[in-house]
Amino acid sequence: MGLKLLFLSIIILCWLTIDSVGSCSCSWKPNDRHFCDSDFAALVIANNRTVDNDSTVYGIDLWRVYRFRDGVANEALMRRQLWTGTYDSLCGIGLSIGDPYVVTGYLVNGKPRINICGFNKLWNDMTVDEENGFNSEYRKLCPKNSPLILSRIRSNYN
């Protein structure tokens, strides 16, 4: 009886643990799909980081907005904050303070969120093709019914 109870307890414990563990998985997308499918694409510099429960909030300088889907996305970006998961299992991404990144993301509950499944790359690591893509070429590949609003904030990283 004691061995059966121990075995049953182990099974229940494993089930509870597996049920509560989250994970992050992404499928590969070409860069133009990241651009076209996202709510926003921007060149940002993180200037501070705070943790709010399971989210990390980056205060950002917005250097350039390559696109935003609508006015709501633009409004959210103008608050100069990006949200991401705090942990890898929540698809969180770490940005180095002071470094420029090109990021794509989505609005979740009115907050602009980035994650490891999107396009997130240091500006200095961008290839010429990627720079050209974000500057002009990717928008040509977006479906005609995909809203595309462009905005230029600053041109220091052009």
Give the tens place of pLDDT for each residue, 6-18.
Answer: 555 555 544 444 4
Does residue 142 lie within any of the structural domains?
yes
**Choice among 8-22, 70-84, 116-130, 142-156 with the minimum mean pLDDT:** 8-22
Indicate whether 24 pLDDT > 90: no
In the chain, the amino acid numbered 50 is T
Does residue 25 lie within any of the structural domains?
no
Does residue 6 lie within any of the structural domains?
no
DSSP letter for each residue of 44-106:
EEEEEEEEETTEEEEEEEEEEEEEESSHHHHHHHHTTEEEEESSGGGT-----TT-EEEEEEE
Q: What is the CATH number of the domain that holds 95?
A: 2.40.50.120
Report pLDDT for 26.
87
Does residue 125 lie within any of the structural domains?
yes
Indicate whether 44 pLDDT > 70: yes
Does residue 158 lie within any of the structural domains?
no
Structure tokens at 144: 């005609």
Does residue 30 lie within any of the structural domains?
no
Show the domain range for 65: 35-148
Q: Are 157 and 64 in contact (CB under 8 A)?
A: yes
Q: Domain tally for the chain?
A: 1
Does residue 111 lie within any of the structural domains?
yes
Q: What angle do CA 87, 91, 94 make, to 5 degrees?
A: 65
Report pLDDT for 147.
55
Does residue 74 lie within any of the structural domains?
yes
Comparing 152 with 63, the larger pLDDT belongs to 63
**Strands 100-108, 120-122: pairing kind:** antiparallel
